[in-house]
Structure 1
Amino acid sequence: MQTPINTFKQAMAAGEVKLGLWLALADSYAAEVSAGTGFDWLLIDGEHAPNDLRSTLAQLQAVASATQALPPGIPAPHPIVRVPTGDAVLIKQYLDIGAQTILVPMVDTAEQAAHLAQAMRYPPQGIRGMGSALARSSRWQAYPNYLHEANAQVCLLVQAETVEAMKNLDAIAATPGVDGVFIGPADLSASMGHVGNPGHPEVQAMIAGAIARIRKAGKAPGILSTNKAQGDKWLAAGAQFVAVGADTMLLHAAAWQLVASYRGTDGAVKNTY
């Protein structure tokens, strides 16, 4: 059996546009439900959601399970894992549990990006530790050539979300082994002195320019949007992988809307029954 082809990596290299959903509920059941709704990719968040190695594993398994029962025409979502920090040991562990695409937050320099590219790969191209015989990544050696095929299938996405990262963006994007650069609007706005205001014109202009620079380097730009207008704007600007929502926000908004439909402006249940 051949190591599975990373279809998300192929799509990014081909310049395709893919829509994603942020998974922050840290729950495998919610991940399984989300996997059947038509998104191209799902982001399992280990930075700002209460995920660890075990809960991430459960969600990877849930997404894989859900894709086996998708209706015709519904794409099988590709799972992406955001690690809490760009630590080579953590990256090794997340790759070993079967993640092929990793998103790393707070990458400010090309040197950091190069180190991460090495952490993703086995020698001689990288420094990833051997151990696939024990791991889900090789399906416990069911993929007999995994050690020789894995490097070509891993996909590294780095987050540029500070003023320092913007200064170094061209070099970060040009780093061999980096497949895409994800813009973090919230942290970028804070770094620019506009805390809590990613919609500030200066921030918006910085993001638009960054998307163009990433594409010029031949890499895939990505971003998270929290409403339809934002999503449309960044898609039009050339972003290739765009998260158009988050499971926590969807649940909160739907629950709020439902209960509000039963209450009056004073908060009491409407007396119309």
Structure 2
Amino acid sequence: MQIRVNLPQTFSEHVRDTSGVATGLWVCSGSPAAAEILSLSGAEWLLIDGEHSPIGLESISSLLRAVAAGPATPVVRVPVLDTALIKQYLDLGAQNIMVPMVHTGEDAANAVAAMHYPPKGVRGVGSALARSSRWNRVPGYLDQASETVSLTVQIESEQAVHNCEAIAATEGVDAVFIGPSDLAASMGLLGQQSHPDVLKNVYHCIEVVKQAGKLVGVNAFNLEQAQEYVDAGVDFIAIGADVQILASQSQVLAGTFEKE
């Protein structure tokens, strides 16, 4: 008997179907248990972070299987814009890719090309051997592969801010995720992601991306700042990470009965 598999909806589809802002959490520890717990937290989406974490190719499949326990949509961030690496992440079954440090429209176009098979892109064909097609159990996978993936690119530099209109206008970019921390650093304001000049650039990019008709999100672990971004109309937002939650809440618990 031939088993037929239907893949879940993409990140961009999920965000558009979400009422209000789509709230996300980061998976940075590499722990499948932590990933599964977050998948059942009520978050709309999870960022499995391959950039600032020990998560490598060998871990991605396990983490994707773990988060499949819950309704949260997984987005996998590659460490760098690299065609071969994006191909591997896609073949592992990562439908939703986030690419960091996209500074120009050309960078965005290269990221788009890496996501798709020819003639639309340059993705290598190995689906029969890969989880992406569930080992050929997704009917007609090659013909519909472009419909099963979504691309989010990151604006997180002053150069990217200057080019945000070209980045957002790039066909095949589904969403833009703004990183205030790296943006601040590129502006000579390291650690000052709430500096007025940084915020001015963030709000500018939010407006430009929305005008382009693309989804826009931002990272904000400060919940007061996060609310301001929500009020500004972002479609999705990341507000915490497994390691950050564990570090902060364990410290609170450990200090419950401290003597003065």
Place the TM-score, normalised by the shorter chain, in its bin. over 0.9
Query: 115, 136, 153: which one pairs with 1:120?
Result: 115
Matched, 1:236 2:231: yes
For 1:13 and 1:238, the matched residues in 2 are separated by 13
Matched, 1:42 2:46: yes
Q: What secondary structure does 2:225 align onto?
A: helix
For structure 2, which runs of at least 5 residues remain unmatched after alignment?
A: none
How far is 1:229 from its partner?
A: 0.7
- Contact kept in structure 1, 2:12 and 2:175, CA below 8 Å: no
Q: What secondary structure does 1:142 align onto?
A: coil
Q: Kindly provide the CA deviation profile for residues 209-258 of structure 1, in whole angstroms up to 9, marking residues without a partner as x.
A: 11111101111111111122122111111111101111111101110000
For structure 1, which runs of at least 5 residues remain unmatched after alignment?
A: 68-75, 266-273
Q: Kindly provide the CA deviation profile for residues 69-128 of structure 1, in whole angstroms up to 9, marking residues without a partner as x.
A: xxxxxxx10000000001010000000111111000000010111011010001111110
How far is 1:205 from its partner?
A: 1.4
Q: Which residue of structure 2 aligns with residue 9 of structure 1?
A: 12
* Alpha-carbon spacing, 1:5–1:148, altered in 2? closer, same or farther (3 Å): farther
Matched, 1:22 2:23: no
- TM-score in terms of structure 2 length: 0.95
- TM-score in terms of structure 1 length: 0.90
- Contact kept in structure 2, 1:2 and 1:145, CA below 8 Å: no
Query: 231, 245, 254: which one pairs with 2:249?
Result: 254
- Contact kept in structure 1, 2:155 and 2:179, CA below 8 Å: yes
* Alpha-carbon spacing, 1:9–1:111, altered in 2? closer, same or farther (3 Å): same
Give the percent of matched residue pairs that are identical in Structure 1 and Structure 2.
Answer: 46
Q: What secondary structure does 2:171 align onto?
A: coil
How far is 1:13 from its partner?
A: 4.9
For 1:178 and 1:3, the matched residues in 2 are separated by 23
After the TM superposition, which parts of structure 1 deviate over 3 Å for at least 4 consecutive aligned residues? 11-16
Q: What secondary structure does 2:210 align onto?
A: helix
User: How many correspondences in the alignment?
Assistant: 256
For 1:149 and 1:86, the matched residues in 2 are separated by 24
- Contact kept in structure 2, 1:2 and 1:146, CA below 8 Å: no
* Alpha-carbon spacing, 1:41–1:15, altered in 2? closer, same or farther (3 Å): closer
Q: Which residue of structure 2 aligns with residue 151 of structure 1?
A: 146
Give the CA RMSD over aligned residues: 1.4
Query: 69, 90, 96: which one pairs with 2:91?
Result: 96
For 1:187 and 1:35, the matched residues in 2 are separated by 27
How far is 1:144 from its partner?
A: 2.6
- Contact kept in structure 2, 1:26 and 1:49, CA below 8 Å: yes
Matched, 1:222 2:217: yes
Q: Which residue of structure 2 aligns with residue 59 of structure 1?
A: 63
For 1:264 and 1:224, the matched residues in 2 are separated by 37
Q: After alignment, is 52-61 or 13-22 more displaced?
A: 13-22
- Contact kept in structure 2, 1:109 and 1:171, CA below 8 Å: yes
How far is 1:2 from its partner?
A: 5.7
Matched, 1:84 2:63: no
How far is 1:149 from its partner?
A: 0.9
